Structure 1
Amino acid sequence: MSQLSFFSADLAPPDVADLAGLLAGTGQAVAAPAGARISTVVADDRRARALAAAVGDSGVAAEVTTSDEGSPLVRTARDPALDALVRDWTRGAVKAVPAGWVPTARALRLWAIASGHVEHGSGADTRYVLALDRHAPDTFSPLVAAMIRAGIAPTLVGTRGGSPGLRIGGRRRVTRLLESIGDCPPELHERTEWPTLTERIPRH
């Protein structure tokens, strides 16, 4: 079945600022004289390939490697173009959400590619969860507020179980998210890893 044809992320050119979507999720940033770097661990090689391609679209080189724990890791090259973004998302040595931040459509897409998954509720109720960084709990409430500013009000879930995330439920909110992030990358499984609706709006 087709995704929604409207794709907000296509309305603006890709930008390094979109990589904030990785930091909103489980991504980490490191500043260095040669330029900052952003990296994030993902669930499998499929996501890694899709994410590296999406990061590359933003104008920053990315590679797929392996974390110390043996999981796929996507990381950017060290790039001075990332310095301002990493400064904005860092308070001391701790990750922090910039005041008033509103996620762009492409930032949401990167977040979904890196760590989004479908959560099936009762009946036809389908919800979508964007993972949060369990090591940065002070980002949770600001990210809820950021999503509300973007017009997609989420529910904070999983904080007690060690798998925190922002749950997006209800047809209107899921539709809004789909309008923003567009089609599922071919590497991902649409039914389990991308927002879905009970009834899809066909392409025209």
Structure 2
Amino acid sequence: MSLTPPTPKPARQPSLFSTEAADPVLADLAGLLAGPGEVGRMGGTARISVVVDAAWRVHVLVAELGARGVPASWEPTEDGRHRVRTAYTSMLAPLARAWLRGAVKRPPARFHLDGRRLRLWAAAAGTAEPAGFRLRLGPADEPCWPVVRAALAAVGLPAAFVEPDEGGPAFRVGGRRMSRLAELVGERPVTAPAAEWPGAPG
């Protein structure tokens, strides 16, 4: 039996854009707005809301918002889904100023995505499917889509557009890009079904 100690495996270096690369900040909530999230203003305050299709998404988003110092609540919708929303707070006013042109949502100049923003988008509106992973978009946000698509490509996730009559509007990340997506969004939240998170076995 050899007495030579095994060579230690090199420590994995987190990607510059992954969830491990930085602490949670309010700017991460731009990930919700890249998808179907909405932002509204009232005076010097703002709030963010998003409608989700499963209870596990509610749990994840409330926890993620709380980790950024923003309490959130939820309520059922008439179509059987759930609306997660923050209270109006001055903490979100800068995000609203960056994303709203009047009352219309538009990505700000130099908009970008990273692991924490993608994690929130995946938690709110991501769906695993045989062809890859689908990230749902806001149906009324068509002017935002080219900017968001370019931001996906910039982090190594070129995506195909899914038409509304095929389960969209959404962007689909597939093939060998799935490992990149899994690296960026990080470990599956405890409440998320294994089959609903990037990197989980199919």
Give the TM-score of the pair, scaled to structure 1: 0.85
Q: Write the distance in 1 (CA, Å) between the matches of 2:106 and 2:74.
A: 25
Structure 2 residue aligned with 1:133: 138
Contiguous gaps of at least 5 residues in structure 2: 1-11
Structure 1 residue aligned with 2:163: 158
The answer to whether 1:149 aligns with 2:154 is yes
Measured at CA, do residues 186 and 105 of structure 1 come closer, stay the same or move farther in structure 2, by a change above 3 Å?
same
Instruction: Specify the structure having the higher radius of gyration (Cα).
Output: 2
Structure 2 residue aligned with 1:48: 58
Q: 3-state SS of the aligned residue for 2:42? A: coil
Runs of 4+, deviation exceeding 4 Å: 4-7
Structure 2 residue aligned with 1:196: 199
2:136·2:170 contact (CA, 8 Å) conserved in 1? yes
Measured at CA, do residues 162 and 198 of structure 1 come closer, stay the same or move farther in structure 2, by a change above 3 Å?
closer
Match for 2:75 among 65, 68, 87? 65
The answer to whether 1:97 aligns with 2:117 is no
Match for 1:36 among 24, 39, 46? 46
Contiguous gaps of at least 5 residues in structure 1: 122-126, 200-204
Letter of the 1:133 counterpart: G
Match for 1:16 among 26, 29, 36? 26
Letter of the 2:193 counterpart: H
The alpha-carbon deviation at position 153 of structure 1 amounts to: 1.2
Measured at CA, do residues 163 and 139 of structure 1 come closer, stay the same or move farther in structure 2, by a change above 3 Å?
same
Give the TM-score of the pair, scaled to structure 2: 0.85
Structure 1 residue aligned with 2:191: 187
The alpha-carbon deviation at position 111 of structure 1 amounts to: 0.3
Structure 2 residue aligned with 1:88: 98
Pick 1 or 2: higher relative contact order, CA cutoff 8 A, min separation 6.
Answer: 1
1:111·1:130 contact (CA, 8 Å) conserved in 2? yes
Q: Write the distance in 1 (CA, Å) between the matches of 2:106 and 2:194.
A: 31
* Cα deviation digits, residues 133-154 of structure 1 (max 9, x gap): 0111111111101111222111
Measured at CA, do residues 96 and 162 of structure 1 come closer, stay the same or move farther in structure 2, by a change above 3 Å?
farther
CA-atom RMSD in angstroms: 2.2
Structure 2 residue aligned with 1:124: none
Q: Write the distance in 2 (CA, Å) between the matches of 1:58 and 1:114.
A: 16
